[in-house]
Structure 1
Amino acid sequence: MREDTIRLPGPAVAADPAPEAVRPGDLTPELIATDWWSDDAVARAGIPVVDVPFVSVGGGIGSFVTVDYLRICGVPTSAIRVLTQLESPWESYEYLTRVSQIPRGERLRSDSASCPDNIWGFPSYAVREALATKSPRPLWNVLVEPILADYYTPKAGQAFESMEREHDRIDYASMVAKGQVRMVRRRIGGGYFTILTPAEGTSPTRRVAYRSRYVHVAVGYPGLKFLPDLMEYRERHRDYGSVVNAYEPHEQIYQRLHAAPGTVLVRGGGIVASRVLQRLIDDRDARGLQTQILHVFRTFVTKAHGPHVWMRRRGGDGWAYQGFNYPKSVWGGQLKARVRKLEGQDRADLYKQFGGTNTPIRRNWREQQGRGRRERWYHAFQGEITGLTPGPSGTVQVALSTQQGPQNVQVTAVIDCTGLEADIREHRVLADLLDHGGAGRNPLGRLDVERSFEVRGTRSEPGRMYASGSATNGGYFPGVDTFLGLQIAAQEIADDLEGLGFCARLGPVRSTRQWWQWARGRKI
């Protein structure tokens, strides 16, 4: 099925500016069309050049974690520049969690030891929460999970506040250059040029070229993924408030339900669908609302399933249950080792086996939905939306294909929770790397990277280009789009750079000394 996309509302995704006449200090047709740039060509364009050894493009949590590793490995702030439009590394992620109903007071889907602010993972989030609240409950939770308790996960606010402390400790702000990255091109003579459109008022020219030996690309999600039926309805009827993606602001739907009884159709079977349902049911309980909830699954899971007894996922009531995005062994067990050895279709097939849409088991969610089924205000079923049209009084008429046959329902709103990530070409920097940077696609269609997270095909000796985050999903390491996955990618990149002589080795002595500095909050 073809999928349309829209630009992610957060600031991490670059927007294409309107074309303008070439001016001094701007990109010339020669530069735009050329894969390899010379210093003379950049000089002829009148683009000022800033020399810095390491550039990270994106400025989100992927950039933050990688820079944190390099600072701990002895790289000075003067050797690093982070090119970003973000005010803080967690800005885009916090935006996505907030609009998908995970505000700072709610818990993320990340385990206790996955700490972007702490490369050692100790003390973990659970230990820190126990100390902060003077309660042993988080420690008990970790001890007995997942048999006697749900998996422990940190609150969103705890993660953001701890990252802010580390942000200040490593002097991250001094390494930031604000603006929009236009492209990264290989340099004749080695290394790369990264073209930045600086923030307004910060540069006398429209473009600045950062000339570096190493480049790290961590641009986050390229855009929101909209299924054709939703996009067509929104564009044809200009109704952007009743048919929404869960990753865009949609508080207006909850406000309408507060004002009058209504019916909501939720589509999807992942963690965001779980959170949206919890919000709807919490509001219903707290305010005494009469909200009716229709929940459509594309695949309705009724029992545990998997290719064999050693690779099975629990399921029921439509949901595929799993504690985290992937089985935990992808971060450091047998699946991590197995994927690292696979190529091509074999790797894609294994990803298909352990991937797929799933949500964690949470006792409160299951209780809420079970009560809704008994009281007949929550209705879950397998089906597909086949049509959307405006209904009376601002409602939406939804045509459905179900196992019981075609059905038509009238709802207050449709909340689509089926996906977040668009094709990597939706991001201009990634598209340019595919067209001019030598980059290719991996078996899942994302950016093809080596085991060291070097972007395959982009080498400009003695320079290296690396990438981490969601754009590299499908590579030799699964789980890249998680806190721990970003940390593992950063460790692989730092190890590779250590071999190239850019940073110090993080051996036992340095690691212990740096942990003590972290624990005492001492600046690097």
Structure 2
Amino acid sequence: MLDETRVYDDLGRQPGPQDLPPDLEASDWWSDEMVREAGLPVTDVPFVSVGGGIGSFVTVDYLRIAGVPPEDIRVLSNLDRPWRTYEYLTRVSQIPRAERIRSDSASRPDNVWGFPSYALTEAIRTRSARPLWQVLREPDFADFYTPRLGMVLTGMEREAARIRYWDMLDTGQVRTVRRRWGGGYFTVLAVNEPGGPSRMVAYRSWFVHLAVGYAGLKFLPELRQFRDTSDFHRVVNAYEDHEHVYTALRQRTGRVLIRGSGIVASRVSERLISERKRHGLQTEIVHLFRTYVEGAHGPHPWSRRAGGDGFAYQGFNYPKSVWGGQLKARARRSEGRDRARIYAEIGGTNTAYRRHWQRQLREGKNGGWYRSLAGTMGDLQQGPDGRLRAYVDSDSSRVELCADYVIDCTGLDGDITSHRVINDLLRHANAGRNPIGRLDVSRAFEVRGAASGDGRIYASGAATLGGYFPGVDTFLGLQIAAQEIQEDLARMGFGNRIGPARSLREWWRWLRDRPI
């Protein structure tokens, strides 16, 4: 049986075991005296980044390039590597290190300049022009070029060593961030002691950066109910380790119900089909779509997305103009309902059109062992024969589907109140929500309403989706947010401005792998 608690541990979202003293827990503002009387040791550092994932990594990278010494930065995290959660999620969603991820060639979290791109780097390392030729022909005559996961992770490891990332990392579970009387913030970290209870440390800083990612896995109500009353073995989330499903299907014939229409659903279907062909299996696949897409669609003729076979097709998470074109400019000047309308137009679940996978789908349909349907799952039960019974409401009818396994690919939990640190910020730091319900940030990614004297809280990543910049939960989006944050900090005297001369000099140092 799968241990769901362990899955959340892997995501780095489990709460720490220790509670704050009651007077600190109830107070919106903390004084130095209150913290001292509570017995919390205090560490002074100007800048604290909470999360320790790729969002923290790229922000710290910008600050180091801007000349901020490592002694002035602390990353508070329960992750020993910035890419740990990302690698876990990609691995269990069927993208091991040798496979290609869904990211642009120039979106390099290890290289703020984006040059040389992944395609150029791969061409040089393999002594082949094929990656560059693919870039020149994409997307009409070839699939979009995307880098291999291994190349991305190796690059981040190299850059982490270059900027002395591990000298800035303090491991533990962040408990809360509270405003400090006199300016700045206290960030409380619960540190696990070997063989004993955890202890709490308060970090006193002027600036706090939040890059906490998603709160955990998302299960729709009927799947949650089934898992609560049955087991975790046959109904799984694609973002948890479910290798046992593929192992079992190699030993006996079975039917799998896939639920979802994004990139993970397409990867899971590809894995199942590849396993079927490689091992000569008789696996049947049923794909359930909440909304079945049959062709091109969109709000108007000049803003349409390709589609077919139930999927909406798009090269990357968002249209490319989100990162530096008309959509970016439009979102940056929008407010309230107008901004929510933009997100509704460009959002929606989609996946990349990959030619090899399309051939697999056609083969499955022609062979009758892959079929798809549209509807919502009304109930999930275990039948007398031990198999799963899924009752799907489609139009005006209800269809019963039998399956041995259900793989849910509907994503991660985007509710910001599910994350303890952000929920605490909403309740105690006057933070608010943006037009689509996530954390409200300014154009510089400062959390609105949470200023404390000259101190500022910034946030980037999935928690800020719905702000002035779409595409925040991508490599390039995290880098753009980091650049905005660094420039805002430089205006307040923390770090240097990265002008042309500094940028060129630091790029040359990066190219030669010279430590900062």
TM superposition score category, shorter chain reference: over 0.9
Please name the residue that 1:494 is paired with: 486
Structure 1, unpaired ranges of 5+: 21-26
> 2:117 pairs with 124, 131, 150, which one?
124
Aligned position for 1:182 = 175
Aligned with 1:273 (options 260, 265, 272): 265
Amino acid at match of 2:379: G
The separation in 2 between residues aligned to 1:422 and 1:394, in whole angstroms, is 33
* Distance in structure 2 (CA, Å) of the matches to 1:454 and 1:18: 30
Partners of 1:455 and 1:467 within 8 A in 2: yes
Q: How far did 1:429 drift?
A: 0.3
Amino acid at match of 1:415: I
Contact 1:387/1:399 (CA < 8 Å) preserved in 2? Answer: yes
Shift of 1:421: 2.4
Q: Structure 1: which amino acid aligns with 2:446?
A: E
Offset of 1:204 from its aligned partner? Answer: 10
1:366 aligned partner? 358
Does structure 1 residue 447 correspond to structure 2 residue 446? Answer: no
State which drifts further: 292-301 or 6-15.
Answer: 6-15
Q: In 1, are the aligned partners of 2:192 and 2:199 still within 8 Å (CA)?
A: no
Aligned 8 A contact 1:14 1:181 in 2 = no
**1:52 counterpart letter in structure 2:** V
Code of the residue aligned with 1:34 in structure 2: it is S
Q: Aligned pair 1:258/2:253, yes or no?
A: no
Q: Is the 8 A contact 1:234 1:243 kept in 2?
A: yes
Q: Is the 8 A contact 2:12 2:85 kept in 1?
A: no
2:288 corresponds to which letter in structure 1? Answer: V
TM-score, scaled relative to structure 1:
0.95
Aligned partner of 1:231 in structure 2 is 224
1:246 aligns with 2:238: yes
Give the equivalent residue in structure 2 for 1:318: 310
TM-score, structure 2 as length reference: 0.97
Q: Which residue of structure 2 lines up, in the alignment, with residue 24 of structure 1?
A: none
CA deviation after TM superposition for structure 1 residue 506, in Å: 0.5
- Which residue of the other structure, out of 440, 449, 463, is the alignment partner of 1:457? 449
Contact conserved, 1:7 with 1:13, CA < 8 A, in 2? no
Q: Partner residue of 2:405?
A: 413
In structure 2, give the amino acid aligned to 1:298.
R
CA contact (8 A) 1:224 1:422 kept: no
Question: Post-superposition shift, 1:202?
Answer: 11
Query: Structure 2 stretches of 5 or more lacking a match?
Result: none
| Residue of structure 2 in register with 1:23 after alignment | none
2:213 corresponds to which of 212, 215, 220: 220
Q: Does 1:43 align with 2:42?
A: no
Q: 2:204 aligns with which of 211, 226, 230?
A: 211
Identity %: 60
Q: CA deviation at 1:205?
A: 7.4
Query: Alpha-carbon deviation of 1:10?
Result: 4.5
State how far apart, in whole Å, the 1-side matches of 2:414 and 2:339 are. Answer: 21
Indicate which of 424, 427, 438 corresponds to 1:432: 424
Moved >6 Å (runs of 4+): 202-205
User: Matches of 1:204 and 1:74 in 2, distance apart?
Assistant: 38
Matched residue, 2:460: 468
Q: How does 1:33-112 map to 2 (within 5 A)?
A: 33-112=26-105
1:308-352 deviation line (CA, Å, top 9, x unaligned): 122100111111110100000000000000001111111111100
Deviation (angstroms), 1:402: 2.5
Q: How big is the shift at 1:389?
A: 1.1
Quick check: 1:306–1:313 contact (8 Å CA) kept in 2? yes
Confirm or deny: 8 A CA contact 2:292 2:374 kept in the other structure.
yes
Query: What value does the CA root-mean-square deviation take over the aligned residues?
Result: 1.6
Verify the 8 A CA contact 1:242 1:395 in the aligned structure 2.
Answer: no
Deviation at 1:521, TM superposition (A): 0.4
Question: 8 Å contact 2:12–2:79 — kept in the other structure?
Answer: no
What is the CA–CA distance in structure 2 between the aligned matches of 1:386 and 1:135, rounded to whole Å? 52
* 2:504 match: secondary structure: helix
Residues 206, 454 of structure 2: 8 Å contact kept: yes
Decide whether the 8 Å contact of 2:414 with 2:462 is kept in 1. Answer: no
Query: 2: distance between equivalents of 1:402 and 1:420?
Result: 25
Counterpart position of 2:136: 143
What SS does structure 2 have at the residue aligned with 1:429?
A: helix
d(CA) in 2 for partners of 1:519 and 1:10?
A: 36
